[in-house]
Structure 1
Amino acid sequence: MQVQGFKAAAVAAGIRYADRLDLGMIFSTTPAVAAGVFTMNTVKAAPVLLDQQRLLTGKAQAVLVNSGNANACTGQQGMDLAVATGSFAAKALNIDPGLVQIASTGVIGEQIKEEPFERAMPGLVKALSADGFDDLAKAIMTTDLVPKIATATIDVLGTEVSLLGVAKGSGMIMPNMATMLGFIVTDVAIEQPLLDQLLKVAVERSFNRITVDGDTSTNDMVLVMANGAAGNTALSDPNSEAVHDFAEALNSICLDLARKIVVDGEGATKFVTIRVTGAESEASAVQAARTIANSALVKTAFFGEDANWGRIIAALGRSGCSFRQENVAISFDAVQLVKQGLFIGGDCEEEATKVMKQKAFDVTIDLGEGECCGEVYTCDFSYDYVKINADYRS
């Protein structure tokens, strides 16, 4: 799918490995209103710090992204590199450097050289194409096994509007803001403060509800650019039906990408939705679900296809969520194992084990305390997760 006024490309710049797509670009033919959500990790990569400063203008026209090196914990040299590479891109595109967003992903703590960026820039800009997002999605992969793309087309005030998102993420995933890297482009015309508001809501209900290993990266970011090329009357009223429709599409893009990250979690063999119902508040439900979803004991039980509900209720008990044990019910899909805080018995554990042999299933924990609910998406811990992360830098 194409989005009016946007192009993308990727090349093999040799940043870490030879003959592998590792440098990508997104370009809007006109300056776009832009918004971003960034990692809450106190340790932030140079690109994150630079982008946060530049986004204060609410405008962007290009994104330059590399894989293989995170440019994190690299001091002033790393910041100088981020500024320099953005300048290479701005010069090649003939735009203001302040309109270039920078993103990096890969190994933390290693310095990165300017030369591969400068050498590859002319070819990267020349390769820009409306159909270049597939290559871009491949270029930002690290331990990812598959590229991640999501699209949507909607009617906004009688005008067709398109959205396209790409993301990367497989390990070091429990964003406290966003995902590892996510870029969304749309040709809708929209006021910047409203776009910023809608992105934050979309991220909270998607990227902030996933976990692979409970780790928040130094480089996490989600950027959205809207260039208005669709020609609709600019969206400005948050209560209008048109804004509601656009928000639903944006939410859908973010949730699709977030789910794909969990499915592609390092070494993952299961996609599991942890759903907590009957909570006193949504925040409490999400807190409980996230604690369960991050439990190494729970996640290894998922891998072993062991319906060990004791690990689930133990994680629930340390979550800080308010509940009474005698009210708790636990089910795997439609198979209930626990009622009023106690094991039901019979053949329910055998039936639950059958559920766990599926590639995807739900675990529902009903607290019996209120009317609120929340979901977090997670995966299992397999042998391969340890193997991948034991020698990641090699």
Structure 2
Amino acid sequence: MPVGKTQDGPDLSVAGLEIAVLEAGIRYPDRKDLVILRLEAGATVAGLFTSNRFCAAPVHVAKANLAKGDIRALVINTGNANAGTGQQGMDDAALSCELVATQLGYSAEQVLPYSTGVIGETLPMKRFAMGVEKASVESFGATWLEAATGIMTTDTVPKYAARTVNVAGSQVTIAGISKGAGMIKPNMATMLGFVATDAKIAREHLDTLASKLIEPSFNRITVDGDTSTNDAAMLIATGASGVELSPSVPGWEEFERELGEVLLFLAQAIVRDAEGATKFVTVKVNTTATSEEARLVAYAVAESPLVKTALYASDPNWGRILAAVGRAGIDDLDTEKVSIYLNEVEIVRNGAVSPDYMEEAGQAVMDLSEITINISLGRGSYSDTVYTCDFSHDYVSINADYRS
């Protein structure tokens, strides 16, 4: 069961975007495993992709097609990542675009492909093609929540968020989905995110939003420290509402804030539904000399197997947190200025156990399902936040049995 909410808001539709959720049998029979998003002409698309050097074939193709613009469709399959598949994988990714384009009446360059699932196996194109052939006019009536279910792999629940925003007297809609539960540490985690709005936003401004808002959301989550070959987080602006937004328009800041909240919710939903997770953990690091320092320390703590297993055991073994801070790579760290809190409980002051700390107070926090670890380095004014979870026996079992 996930820790906390993984769905937020009503299942809204976004004007100018239609969804088909289909059954292709790519890995398992009788399962919805193919999702197509069809966009009206004039829509803009932006996004970020994995930095893994072994990035999957669909990532290469999607990046190339996205650079050409005029995107009319996105296709997402589960069950097979089409990664580590060489030239055959590239050919299959290109063919997947051609199949969708032929079915919908577009050119292959107007289609962006996304895959998630097992790495190192070629995509079964006959099954893929049969799934695409089911995309009729009638099939494009699925909801975002159905699409969220259609892109799941080891996820236990669909992840969805939506809201309406009043901008200068006009209403626009924001809705989106994400998937992922393991192999999660984005560098732009297997992670996919798709968020759309019916506002009209020029590509240059959408690119700026993607870079600015994906960084503190999808780029600040980690389940196991493994960056996938297939990660992607995409923004779509259909323009169908007729409401044109740009940084110079009143209401832009409110829209940006609401969009950022949707992205953050979807990113956190991945951690809340992480493989085997029983706790949702926020690691906040502040008073650092640089942003990079804060990030280094936050990830050192968030990805420490010893910290994560202590969290699972509800063991207030604060020495593990202290050790992770110390090995984060800050060579000139003055340990006597470091303080650490579990929620509101001070466990470390001036680099040593707080004189006010009581084991019972630490235990009470560790017994909770949602915990914040606050770390202050006392060396500057920068800060950063990373979201993570604990490690349980189930994480090992899920990944040991993944291909069974």
Normalised by the length of structure 2, the TM-score is 0.94
What is residue 280 of structure 1 aligned with on the other side? 289
2 CA distance for matches of 1:347 and 1:34?
51
* Partner SS state of residue 59, structure 1: coil
Q: How does 1:97-112 map to 2 (within 5 A)?
A: 97-112=108-123
* Partner SS state of residue 255, structure 2: helix
- Contact 2:182-2:190 within 8 A present in 1 as well: no
What is residue 299 of structure 1 aligned with on the other side? 308
- Contact 1:179-1:258 within 8 A present in 2 as well: no
2:332 paired with 1:332: no
2:365 paired with 1:375: no
2:252 paired with 1:243: yes
Q: CA deviation at 1:353?
A: 1.2
1 CA distance for matches of 2:215 and 2:201?
20
- Contact 2:194-2:235 within 8 A present in 1 as well: yes
Q: Give me the CA root mean square deviation.
A: 1.5
Aligned-pair identity (%): 45
- Code of the residue aligned with 1:357 in structure 2: it is D
Among candidates 228, 231, 235, match of residue 220 of structure 1:
231
What do the CA deviations read for 1:127-160 (whole angstroms, capped 9, x no partner)?
A: 4445422221111111101100111211223221
1 CA distance for matches of 2:141 and 2:131?
20
* Partner SS state of residue 277, structure 2: coil
Normalised by the length of structure 1, the TM-score is 0.96
- Code of the residue aligned with 2:373 in structure 1: it is V
What is residue 313 of structure 1 aligned with on the other side? 322
Q: CA deviation at 1:209?
A: 0.6
* Higher mean C-alpha displacement, 344-353 vs 79-88: 344-353
2 CA distance for matches of 1:333 and 1:393?
38
What is residue 219 of structure 2 aligned with on the other side? 208
2:86 paired with 1:75: yes
- Code of the residue aligned with 1:348 in structure 2: it is M
* Partner SS state of residue 71, structure 2: strand
2 CA distance for matches of 1:95 and 1:205?
35
* Partner SS state of residue 123, structure 1: coil
- Contact 1:280-1:371 within 8 A present in 2 as well: yes
- Code of the residue aligned with 1:223 in structure 2: it is M
- Contact 1:39-1:219 within 8 A present in 2 as well: yes
What do the CA deviations read for 1:85-143 (whole angstroms, capped 9, x no partner)?
A: 21111111112221111000000000112111221223234444454222211111111
Q: How does 1:134-173 map to 2 (within 5 A)?
A: 134-173=145-184
Distance 1:348 1:25, change over 3 A: same
2:212 paired with 1:198: no
Distance 1:178 1:270, change over 3 A: closer
2:266 paired with 1:257: yes
Q: CA deviation at 1:347?
A: 5.7
* Higher mean C-alpha displacement, 44-53 vs 273-282: 273-282
Q: CA deviation at 1:264?
A: 0.5
Q: How does 1:7-86 map to 2 (within 5 A)?
A: 7-86=18-97
2 CA distance for matches of 1:178 and 1:153?
27
Q: Which runs of 5+ in 1 are unaligned?
A: none
Among candidates 352, 355, 375, match of residue 362 of structure 2:
352
1 CA distance for matches of 2:229 and 2:276?
22
- Contact 1:163-1:187 within 8 A present in 2 as well: yes
- Code of the residue aligned with 2:109 in structure 1: it is G
1 CA distance for matches of 2:248 and 2:315?
47
Q: CA deviation at 1:323?
A: 2.8
* Partner SS state of residue 164, structure 2: strand
What is residue 5 of structure 2 aligned with on the other side? none
Q: CA deviation at 1:31?
A: 4.0
1 CA distance for matches of 2:318 and 2:265?
28
2 CA distance for matches of 1:23 and 1:171?
20
